[in-house]
Homo-oligomer: A and B are copies of this chain.
Amino acid sequence: MKTIGHLINGTAKADAGRSQDVYNPSTGAVEKQVLLASKATVEEAIAAAQAAFPAWRNTPAQKRARIMFRFKELLEANADEICRLIGEEHGKISHDAMGELSRGIENVEYACGAPELLKGEHSRNVGPAIDSWSEFQPLGVVAGITPFNFPAMVPLWMYPMAIACGNTFVLKPSERDPSSTLFIAELLMEAGLPAGVLNVVNGDKEAVDTLLQDPRVQAVSFVGSTPIAEYIYTQASANGKRCQALGGAKNHAIVMPDADMDNAVSALTGAAFGSSGERCMALSVAVAVGDEAADALVSKMKAQMQSLKVGAFSDSSNDFGPVITRQHQEKVVGFINSAQEQGAEIVVDGRSPSVSGYENGFFVGGTLIDRVTPEMTCYQEEIFGPVLLVVRVDTMQQAMDLIDDHEYGNGTCIFTRDGEAARYFSDNILVGMVGINVPLPVPVAYHSFGGWKRSLFGDLHAYGPDAVRFYTRRKTITQRWPSAGVREGAQFAFPS
């Protein structure tokens, strides 16, 4: 059985100690073991990053960026292998894994622009013959802690920019699907990154707590569930670190009566069931304004869902694959059960999908639940499965209140053709990422990703321009030269 270790100071590292099973969710089989780093191992990684910092910080930004250019080439050349590794451990179908990887590569492309992005602000004559400028200097060692659902993309949100800014990095990826993450990190070493600039440690809470407590770690980026995000943010802050911690979501789409309904249904299908709904930007609630819209939506969704195909990652004709674990599968089914018990209507039921040949896989089929109300458990919690809830309201304002009353504020969307509705919605809704006829309004890599309310803790969003600010520290220099000796009598004033 294959053992997955760490990457520290440029070399593979396998420490003795604890380890954990890594499943193939499509088959339900355990095929690999991942080592769980001890405190000492994590500290070794931090020390390597600390040692690599001075030289890396002084490497011109353009040289740092050129390693990112080369990294992009290697990611593209190795895309199939990366997608295979993702599929094997996460269960994602290859087209979905490729989509994830593409989004990750976009972030590498953005990091290639570091020389431009790191420009400081220069002011001549802030006073008589006094100049002042602000530089954005790297922080030192920074850490990233990333979730299972995007093992390639989310790490690529973080370390390419952190490193391009001159920091060194310790990454703790999800222990459920670590292989693609590790493989990608090795590609960056191959691209020419000096040893110690990027380190990867696999692990669990012990590794996380070490990162949160070590005074050499200057900043922590996290993506995961809200309770953990809150823990990370509180701990990192109490230890004086800067922190951005992205948490959970419950993304609503408002379907207005004037919406292009075929377009909405097609968009919702991909956004609700893609990647088994295990996305923090998955659209999990459709709020239909008026029963007419609701009826049309439900009947068209039901029809469309007949052709949805769930199955093993290895068959690229599948629409989506298994969920991540047996426990998670049971949890998702439990939410559907609770909806039924609490009075909602199960329009399409995915609790017992038949995936022939993969009877032990962790599959849940696409599920559509109508007449959901805000009190129901399935509405209040993040399901993180291929389940779309339909809530019916009378007015757009009611739909917006529903969204604003939910604890999460990650993404949302409105389907309409009316400019005024779109503008009122996007202006006022308390959500960080807003789509207008765009079901998954994930910002492109040159904007930034972040929710509002309890979907994000911190003041700067992930990737894009905000990442440059998060991974650098402002230094402001004010300069004047007090004597005019050299200039006024140059040839006399100096010793020969």
Q: Tell me the A residues contacting B by CB distance below 8 Å.
A: 58-62, 65-66, 69, 72-73, 106, 109-110, 112-113, 115-135, 137, 219, 230, 233-234, 237-238, 240, 242-243, 256-258, 260, 263, 289-293, 394-397, 416-424, 426-427, 431-438, 441-450, 452, 454, 457-461, 465-466, 469-470, 473-491, 493-496
Cβ-neighbour of A476 out of B133, B448, B460 (below 8 A): B448
Across the interface, do A483 and B62 meet the contact criterion of CB distance under 8 Å? no
Across the interface, do A435 and B118 meet the contact criterion of CB distance under 8 Å? no
Q: Give A470 to B115 CA distance when docked, in angstroms.
A: 21
Q: Give A418 to B485 CA distance when docked, in angstroms.
A: 9
Q: Give A193 to B247 CA distance when docked, in angstroms.
A: 37
Assess A422 versus B479: contact at CB under 8 Å? Given A116-B110, A491-B290: yes
Which of A230, A470, A481 is the most central at the interface, judged by chain B CB atoms within 10 Å of its CB? A481
Assess A112 versus B115: contact at CB under 8 Å? Given A237-B238, A459-B459, A490-B421: no
Q: Give the number of copies in the complex.
A: 4
Across the interface, do B116 and A119 meet the contact criterion of CB distance under 8 Å? no
Q: A112-B113, A124-B135, A233-B237 are in contact. List 18 more A-B contacts (CB 8 A).
A: A110-B116, A113-B116, A115-B126, A120-B121, A129-B423, A131-B423, A134-B443, A256-B490, A260-B483, A397-B488, A417-B486, A420-B481, A420-B484, A432-B473, A432-B476, A435-B478, A441-B478, A459-B459
Q: Which residues of B contact A66 (CB under 8 A)?
A: 109
Q: Which residues of B contact A473 (CB under 8 A)?
A: 432, 452, 459
Could you list 10 examples of A-B contacts with CB < 8 Å?
Answer: A122-B135, A257-B494, A396-B488, A416-B419, A417-B482, A424-B484, A431-B475, A433-B475, A434-B475, A435-B478
Q: Which residues of B contact A242 (CB under 8 A)?
A: 458-459
Instruction: Give the shortest distance, in Å, between A167 (CB) and chain B (any CB).
Output: 13
Cβ-neighbour of A396 out of B292, B454, B459, B486 (below 8 A): B486
Across the interface, do B419 and A258 meet the contact criterion of CB distance under 8 Å? no
Assess A476 versus B441: contact at CB under 8 Å? Given A128-B60, A234-B237, A418-B418: yes
Q: State the 10 A-B residue pairs at the shortest beta-carbon distance, nearest first.
A: A290-B491, A420-B481, A237-B237, A113-B113, A120-B122, A436-B479, A418-B486, A122-B122, A419-B419, A242-B459
Across the interface, do A478 and B438 meet the contact criterion of CB distance under 8 Å? yes
Across the interface, do A496 and B292 meet the contact criterion of CB distance under 8 Å? yes
Instruction: Give the shortest distance, in Å, between A15 (CB) and chain B (any CB).
Output: 32
Across the interface, do B127 and A123 meet the contact criterion of CB distance under 8 Å? no
Q: Which residues of B contact A234 (CB under 8 A)?
A: 234, 237-238
Q: Give A197 to B19 CA distance when docked, in angstroms.
A: 56
Q: Which residues of B contact A119 (CB under 8 A)?
A: 121-123, 446
Cβ-neighbour of A120 out of B110, B124, B397, B443 (below 8 A): B124
Which of A394, A460, A482 is the most central at the interface, judged by chain B CB atoms within 10 Å of its CB? A482
Q: Give A243 to B457 CA distance when docked, in angstroms.
A: 11
Which of A60, A457, A489, A491 is the most central at the interface, judged by chain B CB atoms within 10 Å of its CB? A491
Query: Which B residue's beta carbon lies closest to that of A426?
Result: B477
Q: Give A466 to B448 CA distance when docked, in angstroms.
A: 17
Q: Give A110 to B61 CA distance when docked, in angstroms.
A: 13
Q: Give A470 to B417 CA distance when docked, in angstroms.
A: 34
Cβ-neighbour of A481 out of B106, B127, B256, B437 (below 8 A): B437
Q: Which residues of B contact A263 (CB under 8 A)?
A: 482-483
Q: Which residues of B contact A122 (CB under 8 A)?
A: 119-122, 133-135
Query: Which B residue's beta carbon lies closest to that of A288?
Result: B491
Query: Which B residue's beta carbon lies closest to that of A397?
Result: B487
Across the interface, do A447 and B134 meet the contact criterion of CB distance under 8 Å? yes
Across the interface, do A60 and B486 meet the contact criterion of CB distance under 8 Å? no
Query: Which B residue's beta carbon lies closest to that of A258?
Result: B494
Across the interface, do B476 and A434 meet the contact criterion of CB distance under 8 Å? yes
